[in-house]
């Protein structure tokens, strides 16, 4: 009996966080160590990272982020349960604590994730190959699957 074919997928996340990190990720992809990347669309280098992904034909997914930096969706224009008073996401522990306390409005989560998906599609001109979560926010309890998932 033939053995099932197994393919190891090694994904580098935080693509788009900063140019130096992106350079290392691309180097690892070109060496065959990394097989895909996850793009942080609100990262400081998201646009240049998207260009690198296109140039090198790197399979690219969305690295959904609700914990670091600034939002890309409607929350960036006003008050949101996802943000600090300064307009930044609450941080990994702050977000987890807000979720546990019931202080996160799920419609705002949906709006931000849909905005990140739209931003990804604008940057790369296609849908992501996969979706994962920055700082494991995708595994927190209490959420609903977005309509695009």
List 13, 14, 22, 132, catalytic entry: 13
Burial class (CB in 10 A: 0-12, 13-18, 19+), 3: exposed
Can 13 be counted among the known catalytic residues? yes
SS (H, E, C) the chain: CCCCCCCCCCEEEEECCCHHHHHHHHHHHHCCCCCEEEECCCCCCHHHHHHHHHHCCCCEEEEECCCCCCCCCHHHHCCCCCECCCCCECCHHHHHHHHHCCCCCHHHHHHHHHHHHHHHHHHHCCCCCCEEEHHHHHHCCCCCCCCCC
- CA-atom Rg of the chain in angstroms: 16
Which residues are designated catalytic?
13
């Amino acid at each position: 009996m033939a053995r099932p074919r197994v393919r190891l997928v090694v994904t580098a996340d935080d693509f788009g966080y900063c140019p130096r990190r992106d350079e290392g990720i691309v180097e690892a992809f070109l060496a065959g160590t990394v097989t895909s990347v996850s793009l942080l669309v609100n990262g400081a280098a998201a646009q240049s990272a998207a260009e690198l992904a296109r140039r090198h034909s790197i399979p690219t997914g969305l690295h959904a982020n609700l914990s670091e930096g600034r939002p890309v969706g409607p929350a960036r224009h006003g008050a949101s349960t996802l943000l600090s008073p300064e307009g930044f996401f609450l941080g990994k522990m702050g977000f987890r604590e807000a979720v546990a306390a019931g202080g996160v409005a799920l419609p705002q989560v949906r709006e931000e994730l849909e905005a990140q998906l739209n931003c990804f599609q604008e940057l790369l001109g296609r849908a992501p190959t996969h979706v994962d979560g920055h700082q494991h926010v995708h595994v927190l309890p209490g959420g609903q699957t977005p309509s695009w998932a």
